[in-house]
């Protein structure tokens, strides 16, 4: 039987009528309601049987259909539970991705109506909604001019790619091999990936030394730029971190903006993790100078707690994106001239794209910016509390204090390999299943060496004081065990 009758209309199995869509949707909602209510009690990590579970999924394409309830049960019971749960309140690893259910509900709507938002004309009001969301973001980061703009991408990596390509084209060199970009060793791996994608080799991306707080050293940058200019190379791009992934450092944006302005170098700020904090008063202060960047990456699927699938590139002058990405075609309508009618296809690498605006607009309109600001402020508070309490644990040395909601530390019992001890402690904490934290290898100027650090990133919208308490209890116990086990 190729058409499970319960899930298809008489017309065609691919064309369920409204009642069928509602019925299937309600089944999914029932499962998801249970899943949401069960979230606090589930372990953050379930790695047993991973390989087996994955192997079971690799099966031949099915010629015939399978009834829906069994498929849904399989997905919820065998597929989803295996691995890491970034939607868990105890997920303090990497940079937490969100999972705001309202955004997922918005996606359901977006998918069924399937409007096309690559260009303005096919969906003027839906594009208008997305333009509104982008203008809100521009406002938060201080891009207040009428030419400011941007696009929503699938994530921070494509946003960084847009910035690199626009900066590259803005430099107007004939030979790409002459270009030089700058960032610290803490830059996100998408910076190197984006420059490579854009035809700029890894050797053309120079690592600028950082200070003891892992922030780019502007004086050191100035020296490198002068050196490159003297050698006939063309410095074209500085990528500054606004909350780097390994330890959370914010590069000195004001000083870098001064230097980039004087040297006519494009300043891109990678705020995939930290940029959203510009919505808060403390974030504004920590990110001073952000509004002087040429372009900024935000990741609403991190800092605005959305499910994966939405990053943003914001630019002070959107003509710079248009210059790089506008390509005409014989089958497309004429480009637009009205300043509020944006053709997103002319500002980024995509032509077809999912409509990404509603998943931000709906939760923002529903709860107001205030609710998001308060949630981000809570994460700032939690990180500060956690940092102070972690420093009180035995053998802990703080490596990077939280500038926003991310900090790093090491466990250094006398006479022991601190890298190894720190790794073992992370594993022990993970096994307890209540919270998950991960580490990174960084060059620590205090030690003059590369070291492995544990890091805590508080950015899940479900993380509250209870998870910080759990972190401290489990970390304390893990340190005790690992140190005792010798």
**For the chain, how many residues are written?**
486
Instruction: State which residue, 15 or 261, has the beta carbon closest to its own copies.
Output: 15
* Residue of the chain from 43, 132, 384, 469 that contacts its own copies (CB under 8 A): 132
Q: Could you give the string, one character per residue 339-358, with x where binding to its own copies holds by CB under 8 A and - elsewhere?
A: -xx-------xxxxxxx--x
Is 404 a binder of its own copies (CB under 8 A)? no
Is 449 a binder of its own copies (CB under 8 A)? no
Question: The tokens of 18 are what?
Answer: 């409204």
State the virtual CA torsion across 110, 113, 114, 117 in degrees, nearest 10: -70
| Residues within window 455-484 making contact with its own copies, judged by CB under 8 A | 455, 461-462
Query: What contacts 24+ positions apart, CB below 8 Å, involve 328-332?
Result: 332/119
Is 64 a binder of its own copies (CB under 8 A)? yes
CB of 258 to its own copies, least distance (A): 29
Is 135 a binder of its own copies (CB under 8 A)? yes
Question: The tokens of 483 are what?
Answer: 């140190």
Question: The tokens of 244 are what?
Answer: 């780097």
Stretch that binds its own copies, among 170-178, 212-220, 393-401, 409-417 (CB under 8 A): 170-178
| Residues within window 269-328 making contact with its own copies, judged by CB under 8 A | 299, 301-302, 305, 307-309, 311, 324-325, 327-328
Q: State the greatest distance between any 2 C-alpha atoms of the chain, in Å, as a whole number.
A: 74
Is 105 a binder of its own copies (CB under 8 A)? yes
* Residue of the chain from 4, 254, 335, 398 that contacts its own copies (CB under 8 A): 4
- Contact (CB, 8 A) for 344 and 313: no
Distance of CA 318 to the CA centre of its chain: 22
Stretch that binds its own copies, among 369-377, 388-396, 415-423, 425-433 (CB under 8 A): 369-377
What are the φ/ψ torsions at residue 81 (nearest 5 degrees)? -70, -20
What does DSSP assign to residue 6? Answer: G
Q: Could you give the string, one character per residue 10-39, with x where binding to its own copies holds by CB under 8 A and - elsewhere?
A: --xxxxxxxx-xx-xxx-xxxxxxxxxx--
DSSP result, 82-106: SEE-TTSTTB-SSS-----HHHHHH
CB atoms within 10 A of CB 382: 22
* Residue of the chain from 178, 284, 438, 476 that contacts its own copies (CB under 8 A): 438
Instruction: State which residue, 108 or 264, has the beta carbon closest to its own copies.
Output: 108
Per the listing, tokens 């919820």 go with 76
What is d(CA 301, CA 311) in angstroms, rounded to the nearest whole number?
7
* Residue of the chain from 190, 204, 210, 295 that contacts its own copies (CB under 8 A): 190
Stretch that binds its own copies, among 101-109, 224-232, 313-321, 396-404 (CB under 8 A): 101-109
Question: The tokens of 468 are what?
Answer: 């910080």
Question: The tokens of 373 are what?
Answer: 């600001």
CA angle 300, 303, 308 (to 5 degrees): 45
Stretch that binds its own copies, among 61-69, 221-229, 255-263, 385-393 (CB under 8 A): 61-69
- Binding-site size, its own copies (CB under 8 A): 168
Enumerate residues 6+ apart whose C-beta is below 8 A from 394.
Answer: 413, 479, 480, 483
Instruction: State which residue, 87 or 259, has the beta carbon closest to its own copies.
Output: 87
What is d(CA 138, CA 470) in angstroms, rounded to the nearest whole number?
37
* Residue of the chain from 219, 371, 391, 447 that contacts its own copies (CB under 8 A): 371
Instruction: State which residue, 139 or 413, has the beta carbon closest to its own copies.
Output: 139
Stretch that binds its own copies, among 220-228, 235-243, 329-337, 393-401 (CB under 8 A): 329-337
* Residue of the chain from 73, 113, 226, 391 that contacts its own copies (CB under 8 A): 113
What is d(CA 286, CA 94) in angstroms, rounded to the nearest whole number?
21
* Residue of the chain from 92, 126, 315, 435 that contacts its own copies (CB under 8 A): 126
């Amino acid at each position: 039987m190729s058409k499970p009758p319960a899930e298809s209309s008489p017309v065609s199995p691919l064309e369920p009528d409204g009642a069928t869509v509602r019925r299937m949707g309600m089944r999914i909602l029932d499962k998801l309601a249970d899943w949401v209510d069960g979230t606090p009690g589930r372990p953050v990590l379930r790695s047993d049987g991973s390989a087996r579970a994955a192997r079971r999924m690799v099966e031949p394409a099915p010629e015939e259909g399978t009834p829906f309830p069994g498929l849904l049960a399989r997905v919820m019971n065998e597929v989803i539970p295996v691995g890491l749960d970034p939607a868990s309140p105890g997920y303090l690893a990497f940079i937490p991705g969100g999972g705001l259910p309202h955004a997922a509900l918005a996606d359901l709507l977006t998918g069924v109506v399937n409007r096309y938002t690559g260009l303005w004309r096919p969906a003027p009001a839906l594009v208008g909604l997305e333009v509104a969301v982008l203008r809100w973001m521009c406002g938060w980061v201080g891009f207040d001019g009428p030419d400011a703009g941007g696009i929503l991408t699938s994530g921070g990596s494509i946003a960084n790619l847009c910035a690199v390509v626009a900066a590259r084209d803005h430099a107007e060199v004939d030979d790409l091999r002459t270009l030089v970009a700058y960032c610290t060793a803490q830059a996100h791996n998408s910076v190197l990936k984006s420059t490579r994608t854009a035809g700029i080799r890894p050797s053309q991306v120079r690592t600028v030394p950082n200070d003891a707080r892992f922030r780019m050293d502007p004086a050191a940058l100035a020296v490198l730029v002068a050196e490159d200019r003297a050698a006939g190379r063309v410095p074209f791009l500085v990528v500054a971190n606004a909350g780097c992934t390994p330890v959370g450092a914010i590069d000195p944006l004001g000083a870098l903006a001064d230097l980039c302005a004087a040297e006519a170098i494009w300043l891109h700020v990678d705020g995939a993790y930290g940029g959203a904090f510009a919505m808060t008063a403390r974030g504004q202060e920590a990110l001073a100078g952000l509004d002087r960047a040429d372009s900024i990456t935000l990741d609403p699927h991190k800092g605005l707690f959305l499910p994966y699938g939405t990053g943003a590139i914001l630019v002070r002058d959107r003509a710079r994106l248009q210059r790089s990405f506008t390509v005409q075609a014989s089958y497309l309508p004429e480009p637009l001239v009205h300043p509020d009618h944006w053709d997103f296809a002319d500002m980024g690498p995509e032509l077809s794209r999912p409509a990404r605006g509603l998943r931000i607009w709906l939760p923002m309109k529903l709860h107001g910016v205030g609710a998001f600001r308060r949630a981000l402020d809570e994460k700032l508070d939690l990180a500060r509390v956690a940092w102070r309490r972690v420093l009180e644990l035995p053998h802990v040395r703080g490596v990077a204090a939280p500038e926003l909601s991310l900090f790093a530390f090491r466990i250094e019992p006398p006479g022991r390999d601190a890298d190894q001890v720190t790794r073992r402690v992370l594993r022990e904490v993970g096994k307890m299943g209540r919270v998950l934290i991960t580490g990174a290898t960084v060059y620590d100027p205090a030690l003059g060496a590369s070291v492995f650090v544990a890091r805590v990133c508080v950015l899940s919208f479900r993380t509250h004081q209870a998870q910080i308490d759990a972190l401290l209890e489990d970390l304390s116990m893990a340190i005790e065990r690992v140190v005792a086990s010798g």
